[in-house]
C-alpha cells in the first residue's frame, strides 16, 4: 500500500481545509446522530478491541470529530482519556479524506509530529485511521489504530480498518433508528396524555352528560369503529309477527370490516333482508360495503326477486369504478307474511349456508336444516354469474340463522376451524329456545368461549316466528328487535348487538 506520509513531504489532501459550508453540514450530521458525550457502549468498545487485536497495537479508538475537539466514543488501551483538542495531524486530518490515512512514522510527518498524542506521554509513532462516513458522504469521525513504534500496513489491512469504520457507521444508523422510535413513542405518549387531560376536563365540565361524553371519547379514539357503525343499520325494524336480533363482532378497532346486514320493508307488505361480506378491510372495503347496501335496497324496490337483486348487485360491482376489483358474498331474502308465519324466498351468491331451526317434538334436539340453494357464485367476480334461490316456510317456533364466515372460520382450542359442520352441530346441541335473541346470545357465547375469540369480523342475523305463548309473554313481543349488552372484541373495540 502506498504510504500517505513520508520524509519527503506531505500529500496535498492533508493540507486541504474544508469550506465553512461543508464543515457546517458535517457538524449537523454529527449532531443528528446524538452520539457526543454519551455513556460507553459495548458495541463500540468491542470494535476498538477487535481493531487492536487485528493490528496487534496497544491502542485503538473510535472517535467523533466535533467543532473544537476529538471525542472518544471508545478507547482501547487509552485509559482516562475521553477527548483531546482538534489539533491537526491525526483524527482531524483523517476526516478530510475519503480513504484510509496511514502515517508510518509520525516523527517524520510535518503535520502529525506536533500532535499531543505524538509529543505527549503516549508517544505515538504509528497512526492509521479510516473515516466513519454517512451515506451522504459526511465524515463523522474515525476508527484508529496507534502504536508506539513505526510500522507499515498492507492494502488488506487498510481495507479491514475501513470495514470496521463501516460497522461503526451501521451501529450509528441502528442507534439513530432506535432513537427515532423512542422519540416517536414519547411524542405519542405525550399526545395521548394531552388528549386524556382534555377529555377529563370536558367530562368535568359536562357531568350532566357523562355517558354521552364517554361515547364521544370512544368515537374520537376509534375512527374506524365509528365508520364501521355507519355501514350498519342503526336499529332493526319492527316486523309484525316476527322477532329479529343481530350481532356484529369487530375483530379490530383499527380496520373497518366489510360485513353488513339490513332488514327493510317492501311496498307490497313484504319484507326484505340481506347479510353479506365484502372482501378485504379498510377504506376501500367500506366504500364497497356502502355501495353494496345501497344497491341491494334500490334493486329490491324495482324488482324484489332475490335472484334479480343479486344479478343487479353483480352488475354494479363489475361496472362501478368505486368498487375497484372487490367482490362480496351475500344472502338476500324476501319474507312474505302469511296467516301463521312467513314464506321465505332466499338467494345466495357465494355465501355460507343459512340454517333453518325447528324445535323437535317432545323436547329433543333442535332440528337444524342447511339452507343453501344449489349454485350461486361470488358477486362481482364474473359477468353473468349464476345465482340460485330456494323457498322455505317459517312457522311459529321456528327460526332462521344467518351469519358471515368469520364465525365458521374462527379457531377452536385445538387450532381447527369451527366450519359449517361444527356450526350445525352447535346449533343442534344448544338447549335454549328457538328465539332470535337466544340464537344471537348463544352465538356470542360461542365466540367468547374460543381461546382467541373470532379472528375476523362476524355479523349474525337471526329471525323467528314466536309461538302464541311467547307472543303473549311480557317483554317478548313478537315484533321487537331485541337489544343485549355488547361484549368487547379481541382488541377492546365494542361489538354491536341489537
Q: What is the pLDDT of residue 356?
A: 96
pLDDT in tens, 371-403: 999 878 899 888 989 999 999 999 999 999 999
Element (H, E) at 61: strand 59-65
Residue range 478-488, pLDDT digits in tens: 333 333 333 44
Task: Give the model's pLDDT for residue 95.
Answer: 80
Helix or strand or coil: residue 486? Answer: coil
Provide the 10 A C-beta neighbour count for residue 387: 23
3-state secondary structure of 321: helix
Residue 303 reports pLDDT greater than 50: yes
pLDDT at 123 over 80: yes
Q: What is the pLDDT of residue 431?
A: 82
Q: How confident is the model at residue 471 (pLDDT cuts 50, 70, 90)?
A: low
Q: Identify the band that residue 492 occupies on the pLDDT scale cut at 50, 70 and 90.
A: very low
Q: Which three cell numbers stand for residue 169?
A: 457507521
Q: Give me the helices (H) in 56-143, please.
A: 91-94, 116-119
* pLDDT over 50 at 12, yes or no: no
pLDDT at residue number 126:
94
Q: In the chain, what are the domains? A: 5-178 (3.30.450.40), 222-497 (3.60.40.10)
215: three-class secondary structure by DSSP:
helix
pLDDT-derived band of residue 6, with 50, 70 and 90 as boundaries?
very low
In this predicted structure, the answer to whether residue 335 has a pLDDT above a threshold of 90 is yes
Quote the pLDDT of residue 229: 57
Higher pLDDT, 174 or 86: 174
Confidence of residue 323 (pLDDT cuts 50, 70, 90): low
Average pLDDT (113-129) is 87
Summarised one tens digit per residue, pLDDT across range 134-151 is: 999 999 999 999 999 999
Q: How many CA atoms lie within 13 A of 496 on its CB side?
A: 22
d(CA 196, CA 9): 69
> Exposed, middle or buried, 213 (CB in 10 Å: 0-12/13-18/19+)?
middle
Residue of 273, 322, 271 lying closest to 293 (CA atoms)? 273
Residue 401 in contact with residue 437, Cβ under 8 Å? no
Q: What is the pTM of this model?
A: 0.53
At 289 the pLDDT is 85
Side-chain half-sphere of 28: how many Cα atoms within 13 Å? 8
Amino acid at each position: 500500500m502506498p504510504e500517505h506520509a513520508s520524509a519527503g513531504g506531505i500529500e496535498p489532501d492533508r493540507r486541504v481545509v474544508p469550506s465553512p459550508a461543508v464543515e457546517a453540514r458535517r457538524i449537523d450530521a454529527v449532531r443528528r446522530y446524538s452520539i457526543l458525550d454519551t455513556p460507553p457502549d459495548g458495541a463500540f468498545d468491542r470494535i476498538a478491541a477487535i481493531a487492536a487485536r487485528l493490528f496487534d497495537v496497544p491502542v485503538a479508538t473510535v472517535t467523533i470529530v466535533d467543532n473544537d475537539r476529538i471525542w472518544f466514543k471508545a478507547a482501547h488501551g487509552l485509559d482516562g482519556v475521553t477527548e483531546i483538542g482538534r489539533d491537526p495531524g491525526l483524527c482531524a486530518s483523517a476526516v478530510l479524506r475519503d480513504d484510509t490515512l496511514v502515517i508510518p512514522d509520525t516523527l517524520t510527518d510535518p503535520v502529525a509530529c506536533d500532535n499531543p498524542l505524538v509529543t505527549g506521554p503516549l508517544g505515538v509513532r504509528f497512526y492509521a485511521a479510516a473515516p466513519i462516513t454517512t451515506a451522504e458522504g459526511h465524515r463523522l469521525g474515525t476508527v484508529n489504530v496507534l502504536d508506539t513504534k513505526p510500522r507499515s500496513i498492507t492494502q488488506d489491512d487498510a481495507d479491514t480498518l475501513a470495514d470496521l469504520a463501516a460497522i461503526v457507521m451501521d451501529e450509528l444508523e441502528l442507534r439513530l433508528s432506535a432513537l427515532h422510535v423512542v422519540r416517536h413513542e414519547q411524542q405519542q405518549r405525550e399526545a395521548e396524555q394531552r388528549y386524556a387531560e382534555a377529555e377529563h376536563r370536558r367530562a368535568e365540565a359536562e357531568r350532566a352528560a357523562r355517558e354521552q361524553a364517554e361515547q364521544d371519547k370512544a368515537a374520537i379514539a376509534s375512527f374506524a369503529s365509528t365508520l364501521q357503525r355507519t355501514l350498519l343499520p342503526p336499529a332493526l325494524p319492527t316486523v309484525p309477527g316476527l322477532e329479529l336480533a343481530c350481532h356484529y363482532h369487530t375483530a379490530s378497532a383499527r380496520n373497518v370490516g366489510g360485513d353488513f346486514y339490513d332488514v327493510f320493508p317492501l311496498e307490497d307488505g313484504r319484507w326484505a333482508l340481506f347479510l353479506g361480506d365484502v372482501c378485504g378491510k379498510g377504506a376501500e372495503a367500506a366504500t364497497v360495503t356502502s355501495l353494496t347496501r345501497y344497491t341491494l335496497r334500490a334493486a329490491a324496490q324495482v324488482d324484489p326477486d332475490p335472484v334479480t337483486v343479486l344479478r343487479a348487485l353483480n352488475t354494479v360491482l363489475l361496472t362501478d369504478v368505486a368498487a375497484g376489483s372487490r367482490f362480496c358474498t351475500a344472502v338476500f331474502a324476501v319474507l312474505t307474511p302469511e296467516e301463521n308465519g312467513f314464506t321465505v324466498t332466499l338467494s345466495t351468491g357465494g355465501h355460507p349456508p343459512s340454517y333453518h331451526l325447528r324445535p323437535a317434538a317432545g323436547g329433543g334436539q333442535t332440528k337444524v336444516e342447511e339452507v343453501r340453494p344449489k349454485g350461486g357464485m361470488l358477486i362481482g367476480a364474473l359477468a353473468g354469474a349464476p345465482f340460485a334461490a330456494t323457498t322455505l316456510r317459517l312457522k311459529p317456533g321456528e327460526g332462521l340463522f344467518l351469519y358471515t364466515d368469520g364465525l365458521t372460520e374462527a379457531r377452536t382450542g385445538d387450532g381447527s376451524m369451527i366450519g359449517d359442520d361444527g356450526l350445525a352441530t352447535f346449533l343442534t346441541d344448544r338447549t335454549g329456545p328457538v328465539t332470535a335473541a337466544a340464537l344471537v346470545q348463544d352465538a356470542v357465547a360461542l365466540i367468547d368461549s374460543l381461546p382467541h375469540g373470532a379472528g375476523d369480523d362476524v355479523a349474525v342475523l337471526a329471525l323467528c316466528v314466536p309461538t302464541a305463548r311467547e307472543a303473549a309473554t311480557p317483554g317478548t313481543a313478537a315484533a321487537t328487535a331485541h337489544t343485549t349488552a355488547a361484549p368487547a372484541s379481541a382488541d377492546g373495540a365494542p361489538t354491536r348487538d341489537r
